[in-house]
Structure 1
Amino acid sequence: MNGGPDSRGWLACCLSGAVFAVCMAGTTLPTPLYSLYQDELGFSELMVTVVYAVYAFGVIGVLLLAGNASDAIGRRPVLLVGLGCAAASAVCFLCATALGWLFAGRLLSGLSAGLFTGAATAYVMELAPRQGSSRASFVATAANMGGLGCGPLLAGILAQYAPWPLHLPFIVHLALVAVSVLILLGLRETVAERRPLRTVRPQRPGLPPEVRAVFRPAALASFVGFALFGVFTSVSPAFLSEFLDVDNHAVSGLIVALAFFASVAGQSAVGRIGEQRSLSLGCAGLLGGLVLLAAAIWWQLLPLIVLSAILGGAGQGLAFRAALSQVASASPADRRAAVISTLFVVAYLGISVPVIGVGVLSDHIGLQDAGLVFIASMAVLVTWAGLHLLRRPAVKGR
């Protein structure tokens, strides 16, 4: 098999996955650096959460307006534009002498992630050998969540142990983006019949009546899982510094990375556990992660934050992959893309709206109490989703 079509297909699949990971790493790269930007530019914790959330609105905008662009004009052109947005985002952070640069950088980062989310997932799976769809799906999942985890880890290590903490992480990322462009130019296009860009139309989120019973708990679990990630990646470094005296940027980056790496592990287990059980177990994992996070905030214990990241991340991985599969299976073929887009919109609202809420509350009642209010709210939602799942029968694919 060495040198045969299958091995070449897996090489192309893994290389495209590496490009996917590089793009997604750029979206979480600033996570352990926000405290440094606060010291440098002098803005509040609320503004940290708003800067962070701008990313999600960029993703949602692209998903709605151009989420199907790669089906028309090809995967590689869309991914090259995504890498261009990622590079422009890094340049904005390199030039960040005022808050506006951070907003621009986060928006461009969201645009890059929105362009990559659908196109790169499809590209990774299309480049793989035909009989390896399950394995290719995991490559795409690992590239997505693994890349998100590598961003804060890389930035934290460089900020802590290398010079130019607000510049070197983005210089390194620019170099990785340049290599990714070369890799992408060497891979084949997988869309055989391409159409002009003018044929691309905005996708309207849709929810046929027969999908609603499946969609509600799936969407709630996705919302809570992404909200937990949003809090970890926006305000957990500030909490570690303020309440636990953890000023090591590498440690902050590692804790955030653990949540994403645990999500990869959770998603990889769905095939063995089954979708129905995975969604229920994912809700339980999310609830457990929230309880541990509440205990960590209340007693100010670092080990509990680590355990919360691992358990909550695994729960998010189980719940989101199972939710995506169940919603896709329950959807009519001619509405499936619209329904999946709706699920992603709900998920990315989860990574933005609650985070801003935490920022607003922290200005009035403090970061600790704001975190507890957030946890209580998310616990109610995920408990409702879990109870709803226990009451309904397993979903059968179409």
Structure 2
Amino acid sequence: MTSASTGRGVWPLAGIVFASIAVAAAAGAGTPLLALYRSRWDLPLWELTAAFAVYAATLLLTLLTAGSLSDHVGRRPVLVGALALMIVASALFLVDGGIGWVLGARALQGIATGAATSTFTATIVELSSTRRRALMTVVTSAAPVGGLALGALLTGISVDLLGDSTRVVFAVLIASFVIGIIAVSAARETSARVPGALRSLRPRLVVPRPARSAFLSVAPLIGAGWMFSGLFLGLGPTFDRAILGVDGGAANGVIVALQPAAAAICGIPFARVPAKRSAWVGALLTALGVAVAVAGIFTTDILVVAFGAVIGGAGQGAGFGASLRLLGAQADNTDRGALFSSAYLIAYTGYGLPVLLAGWAAAAIDLRLVVLSYGAVTAGLAVWALAGLSRGQGRVRTQPARTP
């Protein structure tokens, strides 16, 4: 019996889930604020894109170097350190002294998120009882996108309602990170200390041999889903105003948050669906949602864009949760952190790099053409995943591996 199945273990586990949502919410909060900063400081588009890109770049670098660190030093030290770093990043946002401070805060957010994301997933899965493990794996897949949606939505609303929204938002986030540190400290350690911590910091993609077939099968699905999130969270503030004519923080926050919110909410019911079937449905819905959303942007029909966001968001929720379930069944406590880190490396590469390229392209060509190209690549990855899953690629076990 794990500690999570007892009353003593439930509250730390709930606090850790809450903290994982708060970390993602901090990143999502930056999206509406970047649009606000652009208006306040008269920033060029490339500086706005740079503020998004520096977060993605530091996050990816951290996943490459520190993604498996918790497999060696334990889950709790990595999570406490990451949450402390998020407090420092939030304090930099409170300074609000110009784009340089924002870039610094976003860089620290990326480092902290890269260190924490896969470790949160491994910790929550390992603290969960065997009976609840499939559900909690899906919850961990919903937490990052749900947090992004929550941060973008609440910040967008606060921009309209409050005179000093930045201070309110990040003061609340700091309090949330303190709660997270308390919860992590109260939880039991699930990963024993083993040698090799310094060697684990070499940049690399770690996929244990038993998981390679499953990883190749779900990688394009993970990439497609997170690229679709990037379309809204990275490019959304730009095409909302330039193409759809949406003005105001609350309206912008709603549109930006709709896709990740759909991913978080719709992904949970798929925990009861067999993982391979859920992945197939997720790939189909993602491809369909991309097509509908891009059509809505081209026709400047905001309702069609919203409909596509919900369809594709549901696809991402189903597909990403299923992907983590398929991968988690291939690992144990000695390499689960590294494997989930590799999955999130694919996810955040799809989330960040295409947005950076699209931001640069938008300075030279029509934004509609950029969106069309972005959508074509995203849909292509989803169709690739759909074809592979339909062929039965990656014959993998679906029951969790034994844990020490």
* TM-score category (smaller protein): 0.7 to 0.9
Compared with structure 1, are the counterparts of its residues 193 and 214 closer, same or farther at alpha carbon in structure 2 (3 Å cutoff)? closer
Equivalent AA in structure 1 for residue 189 of structure 2: T
Compared with structure 1, are the counterparts of its residues 366 and 147 closer, same or farther at alpha carbon in structure 2 (3 Å cutoff)? same
Compared with structure 1, are the counterparts of its residues 282 and 96 closer, same or farther at alpha carbon in structure 2 (3 Å cutoff)? same
Compared with structure 1, are the counterparts of its residues 34 and 131 closer, same or farther at alpha carbon in structure 2 (3 Å cutoff)? same
Within-5 A mapping of 1:95-244: 95-129=95-129, 131-185=131-185, 187-191=186-190, 193-194=192-193, 201-202=200-201, 204-206=204-206, 214-244=214-244
Q: Structure 1: where are the runs of 5+ without partners?
A: none
- Paired residue for 2:361? 361
Equivalent AA in structure 2 for residue 22 of structure 1: A
Equivalent AA in structure 2 for residue 175 of structure 1: A
Compared with structure 1, are the counterparts of its residues 123 and 382 closer, same or farther at alpha carbon in structure 2 (3 Å cutoff)? closer
Contact 2:13/2:187 (<8 A) preserved: no
Compared with structure 1, are the counterparts of its residues 5 and 227 closer, same or farther at alpha carbon in structure 2 (3 Å cutoff)? closer
Within-5 A mapping of 1:1-398: 6-129=6-129, 131-185=131-185, 187-191=186-190, 193-194=192-193, 201-202=200-201, 204-206=204-206, 214-329=214-329, 338-392=338-392, 395-397=395-397
Secondary structure of 2:397's counterpart equals coil
Secondary structure of 2:165's counterpart equals coil
CA distance in 1, matches of 2:177, 2:141: 20
CA distance in 2, matches of 1:124, 1:341: 14
Compared with structure 1, are the counterparts of its residues 139 and 36 closer, same or farther at alpha carbon in structure 2 (3 Å cutoff)? same
The share of aligned pairs that are identical, in percent, is: 28
TM-score under structure 1 length normalisation: 0.88
Q: Structure 2: where are the runs of 5+ without partners?
A: 399-404
Deviation for aligned residue 1:139: 4.1
Contact 1:93/1:101 (<8 A) preserved: yes
Compared with structure 1, are the counterparts of its residues 397 and 183 closer, same or farther at alpha carbon in structure 2 (3 Å cutoff)? closer
Contact 1:156/1:251 (<8 A) preserved: yes
Deviations 1:282-340 (A, max 9, x none): 11111111111111111111112221221111111111222233345567998776554
Contact 2:12/2:184 (<8 A) preserved: no
Q: Which stretch has the larger CA shift, 331-340 or 39-48?
A: 331-340
Compared with structure 1, are the counterparts of its residues 74 and 321 closer, same or farther at alpha carbon in structure 2 (3 Å cutoff)? same
Compared with structure 1, are the counterparts of its residues 389 and 195 closer, same or farther at alpha carbon in structure 2 (3 Å cutoff)? closer
Contact 1:330/1:395 (<8 A) preserved: no
Compared with structure 1, are the counterparts of its residues 302 and 211 closer, same or farther at alpha carbon in structure 2 (3 Å cutoff)? same
Compared with structure 1, are the counterparts of its residues 245 and 266 closer, same or farther at alpha carbon in structure 2 (3 Å cutoff)? same
Q: Which stretch has the larger CA shift, 334-343 or 260-269?
A: 334-343
TM-score under structure 2 length normalisation: 0.87
Compared with structure 1, are the counterparts of its residues 76 and 25 closer, same or farther at alpha carbon in structure 2 (3 Å cutoff)? same
CA distance in 2, matches of 1:337, 1:15: 19
Contact 1:56/1:349 (<8 A) preserved: yes
Deviation for aligned residue 1:243: 2.6
Secondary structure of 1:167's counterpart equals helix
Q: Which stretch has the larger CA shift, 253-262 or 301-310?
A: 253-262
Deviations 1:223-265 (A, max 9, x none): 1111111121122122222233321212222233222222123
CA distance in 1, matches of 2:142, 2:227: 20
Compared with structure 1, are the counterparts of its residues 246 and 138 closer, same or farther at alpha carbon in structure 2 (3 Å cutoff)? same
CA distance in 2, matches of 1:192, 1:330: 17
Contact 1:13/1:136 (<8 A) preserved: no
In the comparison of the two structures, how many residue pairs are matched?
Answer: 394
CA distance in 2, matches of 1:298, 1:373: 12
Q: Which stretch has the larger CA shift, 167-176 or 230-239?
A: 167-176
- Across the aligned residues of Structure 1 and Structure 2, the Cα RMSD in angstroms comes to 2.9
- Paired residue for 2:402? none
Equivalent AA in structure 2 for residue 283 of structure 1: A
CA distance in 2, matches of 1:319, 1:28: 21
CA distance in 2, matches of 1:392, 1:144: 28
Q: Which stretch has the larger CA shift, 126-135 or 216-225?
A: 126-135
Secondary structure of 2:364's counterpart equals helix
CA distance in 1, matches of 2:297, 2:40: 27
Compared with structure 1, are the counterparts of its residues 7 and 152 closer, same or farther at alpha carbon in structure 2 (3 Å cutoff)? same
Contact 1:157/1:249 (<8 A) preserved: yes
Deviation for aligned residue 1:391: 2.7
CA distance in 1, matches of 2:94, 2:124: 30
Q: Which stretch has the larger CA shift, 196-205 or 157-166?
A: 196-205
CA distance in 2, matches of 1:208, 1:139: 23
CA distance in 1, matches of 2:370, 2:191: 51
